[in-house]
Amino acid sequence: MTPDLQHRFSDLGEGDIDVLIIGAGINGAGLFRDLSIQGVNCVIVDKADFGSGTSAAPSRLIHGGLKYLETGEFGLVAQSTLERNLLLKNAPHCVEPLPTFIPVFSWTRGIWAAIRTLFGSKTAPRSRGAVLIKIGLRLYDFFGSRDQVMPKHRFILKKQARREMPHVTPDIVAGGIYYDAKISGPERLVYELVRDGLDANPKSLAANFTTLAAVSGERLTFRKADGGEFFVKPKLVVNAAGPWIDHVNAALGAPSKMIGGTKGSHILLDHPELVRSLNGHMIYFEADDGRICLVYSYLGLALVGSTDIPADDPDNVRCEEPETDYFLESVSSLLPTLRFDRDQIVYSYSGIRPLPASDATAPGLISRDHSAPVNEPANGRPFPIVSLIGGKWTTFRGFAEEVADTVLARLQRNRKQSTRYLAIGGGKTFPADAGQRDAWIRDVAAHRSVTIERADKLLGRYGTTASALLTSPSGYSDEQRLTGAPDCSCREIDWIVRNELVVHLSDIVLRRTTLAIEGRLTLEGLHEIAGIAASGLGWSAERVAAEIEDVVSQLSRLHGQFLNGKLTGAAKAPGPVSG
């Protein structure tokens, strides 16, 4: 925690906070930003890091929800496609268009099953033919027409489809191509939303690795990572704990049964031939068992997902062996001329979707829409609790705006500003077109002593925050690079350590950067990062060793990633560069 925030927590007094938000995933962070912009004094806390739970385990898509058309959730599709288009404008540093190919295996199959599903059947169609997909893509274009930034769909016959996707099975009869979007760093965007909230309102506060220690009437006491405590007496509490919502409500004295999640897992493959053949496209396809899967290029790797399995233990979730087998078998069936095996897997991850409790027999039919039920004050609890149920990554801004308006009404405040066209984090003042981007890059290169190529790389990684990163005082040069990740500099890590609310080493390698998920993290590089963190945060040699061991354990236990080498004590930071 930065000294400024530490000081503000120590000065926190009774009545200083209007709203307490428990849970700093994408929904909680989005609401924190919105309310802080409106001048509401907020505290947001999370028992782990910002964006480290469910929000760190999506398919990394910003999508409109094509499959929700099938269940008649037209309002959700309309909101999702709008929010997708807005994110392309408001977060251009990390959200980009993703052309998507749908292989079609029949002409008319699935029509009657789709009609039954639309009218409430609990079973989804096992196969969707060309007629059904064409109707769906037309509707998708219609719903996505507001603030449209991408082309409309096109439908192609087998011969052309196999030219564009050469490894796709010859069993297809046609293909559809439409546009959604992908996000390079969802965890980092969650942090940026929190940072925007802190910058918008100096009286708002954020604390990661902070747990609820005691509840006494209107007073809630929290314990921070360093052992220090603070208390708040909020006028209203928002429970944004995702799959932990029912646990939090119970701790607050308002037991509930609102969540019935499903597990989604993903793997990343080091498969250059597959990545080249995709040509920037995602393939969104139906596996042999009827479930929807996807594969696309993510930071030079091939991301494959996702499962949808009923699950309710968010503290112990990983991609299991049967899921891995399922992914490899599914892509092998779709792309029979390519080789797939476990040796290609560089990373895996899994999370629990915090879906509303449901009796649906098929997990895919559980609504991805959101709601915000309120537990009014009761049994000595003087504050209402608003629980953020369901939702999906793409719709966080719209969901936050809906809940913020509810909160503002309860606080008898008026909205000062819409977030609809408000840029996020490094998306602020982002170059609007190729010409402006070229000018920005050349200006930074000329004034920050980096090459044009390096300025371009940093703009893509951090957005316009890259300029501050290069000018901030540091004992490290941008020319000092990490072992195993030669395009990541020690100066970047130093900036993150000193400016981005880092508490643990895992925050840096798993969330503020994409080093781990890209498979670019070596044990030697991890030691170098730990050394930089130790210098900026005052860690002892014992603390450094513990932090390294924790990262190595998390990577092997939760992500199937094993760093080569042997832990040999404290890390040594690369020496500072003079001049």
Buried b (16+ CB within 10 A) or exposed e, 438-463: eebbeebbeebebeeebbbbbbbbbb
Q: What is the mean pLDDT of residues 421-425?
A: 98
Task: Kindly indicate the confidence band of residue 310, based on its pLDDT and cuts at 50, 70 and 90.
Answer: confident
Rounded Cα gap, residues 281 and 265, in angstroms: 21
CB contact set of 538 (below 8 Å; sequence gap of 6+): none
Structure tokens at 108: 């008319």
Architecture of domain 3-54+187-258+368-410: 3-Layer(bba) Sandwich (3.50)
Q: What is the pLDDT of residues 80-124, one digit of tens each?
A: 999 999 999 999 999 999 999 999 999 888 666 666 666 566 555
Rounded Cα gap, residues 574 and 261, in angstroms: 44
Q: What is the pLDDT of residues 194-204, one digit of tens each?
A: 999 999 999 99
Q: What is the pLDDT of residues 132-181, one digit of tens each?
A: 899 999 999 999 999 999 999 999 999 999 999 999 999 999 999 999 99
Closest CA to 163 of 150, 153, 174, 154: 174
Classify domain 432-559 by CATH number.
Answer: 1.10.8.870
Q: Is 432-559 in the same CATH topology as 3-54+187-258+368-410?
A: no
Q: What is the mean pLDDT of residues 19-47?
A: 98
* Domain boundaries of the chain, sorted by first residue: 3-54+187-258+368-410, 96-182, 262-353, 432-559
Q: What is the mean pLDDT of residues 478-507?
A: 97
54 touches 352 (CB < 8 A): yes
Q: What is the pLDDT of residues 560-571, one digit of tens each?
A: 998 864 333 334
Sign of CA dihedral 416, 418, 423, 425: positive
pLDDT for 262 equals 85
Task: Kindly indicate the confidence band of residue 363, based on its pLDDT and cuts at 50, 70 and 90.
Answer: low
The fold of the 262-353 domain, in CATH, is D-Amino Acid Oxidase; Chain A, domain 2 (3.30.9)
Beta bridge partners of 387: 239
